[in-house]
Amino acid sequence: FDKVSRNAQALSLLSLESAWNTIVTEEYLKQSNSFRNSLNSMREAAKENNIDRATLGYVDMTIRCIDCHKYLRSKGVKAIDRSAG
């Protein structure tokens, strides 16, 4: 549970970095907030040692990722190839 909590916190902080914000639209901000809310739910569940809620939070986080990536593709945003650099 400690690892779940730490990693959820790390992902939440990562989502606040400037490189995360590939476009600035109201929908993208909404998508990012939904992602962070899922991570917060996971962290809270981990603190309570509640495996069922932590699992649901993980599933919700994954759905938020997929939804946002679909949104970005619909706007023509390409992934950045960081390995080339």
Q: How far apart are CA 24 and CA 22, in angstroms?
A: 7
41: part of which helix (H) or strand (E)?
Answer: helix 26-47
The whole-chain average pLDDT of the chain stands at 89
Q: How many CB atoms lie within 10 A of CB 65?
A: 14
According to the model, what pLDDT value does residue 48 have? Answer: 97
Q: How far apart are CA 70 and CA 68, in angstroms?
A: 5
What would you report as the CA-atom Rg of the chain, rounded to the nearest whole angstrom?
Answer: 14
Q: What is the pLDDT of residues 28-50, one digit of tens each?
A: 999 999 999 999 999 999 999 99
Q: How far apart are CA 64 and CA 70, in angstroms?
A: 10
The pTM (predicted TM-score) of the whole model is 0.82
Q: Please determine, for residue 81, whether its predicted confidence score (pLDDT) is greater than 60.
A: no
Q: Please determine, for residue 6, whether its predicted confidence score (pLDDT) is greater than 70.
A: yes
Q: Please determine, for residue 83, whether its predicted confidence score (pLDDT) is greater than 60.
A: no
